[in-house]
Amino acid sequence: MPTPRKADEQGQASLFLLVGLSVALLAIVLLYMRLGNANDLRDRAQNAADAAALAAAGQAADNAAQKLAEHKLPYGNLYNPVAGRTRAEEYAKSNGAVLADIRASDNDIGTTGDIVRVEVRSAQCQRELEEDGGRHWNDSLCDGTEGEKDIPVHIGNADAIAKVDLPDCAYIFSPDPDDLSIIGVRCGGQTIQGFAHARRLIDVHLTGKEGKYLYEPSSWNQ
């Protein structure tokens, strides 16, 4: 007949089991936290990309509104590459990311630049845990050495495309049949009253497709 296990041995076995379960549970919790952090990096990067693209395209929309306010139709060279990049960098930074690339395009032989695509990377990253424990599990700040070691690094990367939608506009000519001067611009049935009014009629939104032609401005300094 088997000898009954002593009470202290049973207690030790239960303690070891409890410790083992606790360690396993902690490992699972840490794993889910790291996976959640990786997903959060991607989400934040996408938010930053969306904001940067809308800001850059908004610069083109502002130029279009300025033309309308000056009684000009919003055609040609709407996007300023220098100003657009500056805006995209500012909005990417304010959303915890760094602008990696930006380009404009359009469906008008590359002369308008009303569609802007940006790529960003998160200012934070997550390196795989090192065997020597030299990097804490929740250390997510990029230190500039992410590519120096052969250790996988998760960095939030994202891209976004924003498009400027202009209303149908036409010149308003002088009512004097002998005077062919332009006295205003009408868009969508409304006579433009100034920059603010024109800007309200111009929509900037995210889209999923770039234009057919790469934007090649003829006058903006790049």
**What is the tens place of the pLDDT at every residue in 70-101?**
999 998 899 999 999 999 999 999 998 889 99
Query: Angle at the Cα of 89 (from 88 to 95), degrees rounded to 5?
Result: 90
Distance CA 37, CA 16 (A): 31
Residue 20 scores a pLDDT above 80: no
Is 146 in contact with 155 (CB distance < 8 Å)?
A: yes
**What pLDDT does residue 68 have?**
96
Q: What is the mean pLDDT of the chain?
A: 79
What pairing do the DSSP bridges indicate for beta strands 203-207 and 213-214? Answer: unpaired
Per the listing, tokens 């889910």 go with 32
Q: Give me the percent of the chain exceeding a pLDDT of 70.
A: 65
**What pLDDT does residue 221 have?**
45
Q: Which of 35-39, 81-85, 127-131, 178-182 has the highest mean pLDDT?
A: 81-85
**What pLDDT does residue 33 have?**
47
Residue type, 214: L
Q: Which residue has the higher pLDDT, 51 or 5?
A: 51
Residue 153 scores a pLDDT above 70: no
Our measurement of the distance from residue 167's CA atom to the centroid of its chain's CA atoms, rounded to an integer in Å, reads 26
Q: Which residue has the higher pLDDT, 167 or 28?
A: 167
**What pLDDT does residue 143 have?**
55
206, β-bridge pairs = 162
**What pLDDT does residue 137 have?**
45
Confidence of residue 176 (pLDDT cuts 50, 70, 90): confident
What SS3 state is found at 134? coil
Residue 106 scores a pLDDT above 70: yes
Residue 129 scores a pLDDT above 50: no
Instruction: Provide mean pLDDT across the span 128-151.
Output: 51
**What pLDDT does residue 131 have?**
46
Per the listing, tokens 């506009």 go with 169
| 111 burial type by CB count under 10 A (0-12 exposed, 13-18 middle, 19+ buried) | middle
Helix (H) or strand (E) holding 64: helix 7-69
Q: Give me the percent of the chain exceeding a pLDDT of 90.
A: 53
What SS3 state is found at 93? helix
Confidence of residue 30 (pLDDT cuts 50, 70, 90): very low
Is 145 in contact with 110 (CB distance < 8 Å)?
A: no
Query: CB-side exposure of 37: number of CA atoms within 13 Å?
Result: 19
Structure tokens at 95: 């959303």
What SS3 state is found at 29? helix
Distance CA 67, CA 171 (A): 12
Instruction: Provide mean pLDDT across the span 190-206.
Output: 96
Instruction: Provide mean pLDDT across the span 154-170.
Output: 89
Cα 110 to Cα 38, 61, 216, 217, distances in angstroms? 38, 16, 6, 8
pTM of the model: 0.71
Distance CA 113, CA 31 (A): 45
Region of poorest pLDDT, from 13-17, 167-171, 218-222: 218-222
